[in-house]
Structure 1
């Protein structure tokens, strides 16, 4: 693998190996469009080693036989992007991925892949190069385009993400122990680009004010007052505009909310996130969703991940 023009070969990395673990995420959470994100305890795990030459990729689980096995692989692109930030070319690598985050379902699979690559690069470059949390978020956001998924994937918990002239920023908050996420995952995928294309360029003033109030309430509900989650997850900014592209998702969410369950589209969809205020509510939510569905949906009771992405050095 020849170094790219203008980039120096990475020296002294031969034999280094890291293990990376990255959680799934759900962005928006109803009213917090492109701002709020939650890390969920379902993971992609990867082993990345610097080898003598070439690029070797194995993918097991989700994406096996579907994702590219060359330099266009998103994790490899993220590693290369991070190395390039520090003037270094991508070294020869072996990557083995064990994926469990569904692709194209609104659970942050692309964000997780980007974070995995950035974290792998961080682990491989230490201790010669230290990459700060703000730099990690900046690198990941450059590739993802927005920080709402990569922030919780990097740092865990509930994150508020925003952008500044100096780059993206985040605030991590701990979620109330009573909050019990439940995700419904369909067999079909949804394109994030398609979902975003359905958004209008402007919204009524009253809808913007509505979402500001619900976003503020949602933060309070998630960290302190879970009993307010049904009201706090109301949204007028994006979900109803996207409903025509995923009618079954919309119908199930309406049924769940009518039954008192705080259900929202997970990310760009089509998965559904229920932010139950108690684990006991999950069984009834599964019953309601099953009765409303026309196709098969997988119900995943997931804990909130509080740690975020991790990278540890591993012996080859």
Structure 2
């Protein structure tokens, strides 16, 4: 393999944005860092640093980062080399911010670079979607920005969603977790025609609201009838935090991914007030939470090639 080490930095993501269930995601300015170093001797092993590092499964057979690394090697017909994998955690685990997508993208990109980049970005993206099962997190994690993904005649079609510079994403990350599987289980298997029409119209309005930053469009568009009415019962304090965010100047609030992180969209004028209001609302319920004003990450996964040790 031409390169002996590679470091891949992958952003967190927020998926759905309300009406864009399972098709829209945006990359955020929180990151995981993955360093892969080829070993001339010894077995593949994993280390982790950062908050919650002790919770990372370092058994390579069960680790999603390594599984994704192996998946790409298999796809190109190469035997996976022995590597040292160093994980630097910045994205909270199991909070609805795409931590699993960062591992998938990190493993795939690292394997591709170490192999001399035989696969295009589009081919890596397709493989990431195949592993994850849906595109909304892995696509923006890989290529950045806010993206809409839909299946076309010959595969996935990825559409860039313009994000107006005045729109500020604020994430409220509670200490408790919510598994994607649990969040999926509460969803109904069928929906009414009225609810389908509601989401179609609000998705269209959301796209225009994000592009223009128009306040009344964003206020109306951050609603959904496919997943949030069912999932919010799993998130203690949802209504209280939502009311606090909107009262402080947020256009609205949605569940980030499967939750429990909550995402408010606001403008530069009200961002600090929204952060304080959301934090205070959960504090009043005796729930510890980290609330942060972020930015959209436009580049996605970043690669630094090295010469190893």
Output aligned runs, 1:152-171, within 5 Å.
152-164=140-152, 166-171=154-159
Give the CA deviation at 1:240. Answer: 0.7
Asked if residue 312 in structure 1 is aligned to residue 304 in structure 2, the reply is yes
Pick the aligned partner of 2:51 from 62, 66, 83.
62
Give the CA deviation at 1:259. Answer: 5.4
Taking structure 1 as reference, are residues 308 and 108 closer, same or farther at Cα in structure 2, changes over 3 Å only? same
Q: What is the match of residue 302 of structure 1?
A: 294
CA distance in 2, matches of 1:171, 1:264: 22
Give the CA deviation at 1:176. Answer: 1.1
Note if contact 2:65-2:106 (Cα within 8 Å) is conserved in structure 1.
yes
Note if contact 1:62-1:103 (Cα within 8 Å) is conserved in structure 2.
no
Note if contact 2:275-2:293 (Cα within 8 Å) is conserved in structure 1.
no
Q: 1:200 aligns to what SS in structure 2?
A: coil
Give the CA deviation at 1:69. Answer: 1.3
Q: What is the match of residue 216 of structure 1?
A: 204
Pick the aligned partner of 2:64 from 74, 99, 102.
74
CA distance in 2, matches of 1:40, 1:88: 33
Pick the aligned partner of 2:76 from 82, 86, 89.
86
Asked if residue 108 in structure 1 is aligned to residue 112 in structure 2, the reply is no
Taking structure 1 as reference, are residues 260 and 202 closer, same or farther at Cα in structure 2, changes over 3 Å only? farther
CA distance in 1, matches of 2:50, 2:202: 37
Give the CA deviation at 1:260. Answer: 4.9
Give the CA deviation at 1:290. Answer: 3.4
List runs of 5+ in structure 2 lacking aligned partners. Answer: none
List runs of 5+ in structure 1 lacking aligned partners. Answer: 1-11
Give the CA deviation at 1:292. Answer: 2.6
CA distance in 2, matches of 1:197, 1:163: 24
Give the CA deviation at 1:133. Answer: 2.3
Which TM-score applies when normalising by structure 1? 0.90
Give the CA deviation at 1:80. Answer: 0.3
Q: Aligned-pair RMSD on alpha carbons? A: 1.7
Give the CA deviation at 1:120. Answer: 0.6
Q: What is the match of residue 271 of structure 1?
A: 261
Q: What is the match of residue 225 of structure 2?
A: 236
Pick the aligned partner of 2:269 from 280, 289, 292.
280
Taking structure 1 as reference, are residues 81 and 272 closer, same or farther at Cα in structure 2, changes over 3 Å only? same
Taking structure 1 as reference, are residues 218 and 121 closer, same or farther at Cα in structure 2, changes over 3 Å only? same
Which TM-score applies when normalising by structure 2? 0.92
Pick the aligned partner of 1:248 from 237, 244, 247.
237
Give the CA deviation at 1:166. Answer: 4.1
Note if contact 1:137-1:169 (Cα within 8 Å) is conserved in structure 2.
no
Deviation string for 1:248-298 (max 9, x for gaps)?
Answer: 23431244345552211111000011111x222122213332343211211
Q: What is the match of residue 45 of structure 1?
A: 33
Deviation string for 1:182-239 (max 9, x for gaps)?
Answer: 1000000110000011110111111111111111111111122342221111111110
Pick the aligned partner of 1:185 from 142, 166, 173.
173
Taking structure 1 as reference, are residues 77 and 87 closer, same or farther at Cα in structure 2, changes over 3 Å only? same
Give the CA deviation at 1:163. Answer: 2.7
CA distance in 2, matches of 1:89, 1:67: 25
Give the CA deviation at 1:309. Answer: 0.6
Give the CA deviation at 1:119. Answer: 0.9
Asked if residue 21 in structure 1 is aligned to residue 9 in structure 2, the reply is yes
CA distance in 2, matches of 1:192, 1:198: 10
Give the CA deviation at 1:151. Answer: 0.6
Q: What is the match of residue 182 of structure 2?
A: 194
